[in-house]
């Protein structure tokens, strides 16, 4: 499954929805009203995977699919949101 949907817990009980897709290289963030507040395009599948792994480990809960296996983060300084 290439598309994943995440619940991103915000302050004061707000929940943002994040949709990531390793095949298309796109990550979209929607606020609680369904408005898109951020979109990253043209990312490599590896960039999307790193964002997903970091995101789940720190601030989110996956709403569809299986939880990813425990992986070690890259040691190099790599910003996956910079395409």
* 35-51 confidence digits (pLDDT tens): 999 999 999 999 999 98
Q: Total structural domains in the chain?
A: 1
pTM: 0.68
Q: Residue 36's beta-bridge partner residues?
A: 30
- Euclidean distance between CA atoms 46 and 51, whole angstroms: 9
The tokens of 47 are what?
């960039």
Residue 16 domain flag: yes
Task: Give the lowest-confidence range in 9-18, 27-36, 40-49, 61-70.
Answer: 61-70
Whether 10 is in a domain gets the answer yes
State which residues form the domain around 53. 3-62
Decide: 80 and 50 in contact? Cβ < 8 Å. Answer: yes
CA distances from 41 to 11, 13, 20, 59 (A): 26, 28, 10, 21
């Amino acid at each position: 499954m290439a598309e994943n949907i995440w619940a991103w817990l915000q302050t004061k009980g707000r929940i943002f929805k994040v949709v990531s897709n390793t095949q298309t290289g796109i990550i979209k963030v929607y606020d609680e009203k369904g408005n898109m507040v951020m979109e990253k395009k043209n990312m490599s599948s590896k960039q999307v995977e790193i964002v997903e792994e970091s995101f789940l480990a720190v601030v989110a809960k996956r709403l569809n699919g299986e939880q990813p296996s425990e992986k070690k983060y890259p040691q190099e300084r790599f910003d996956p949101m910079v395409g």
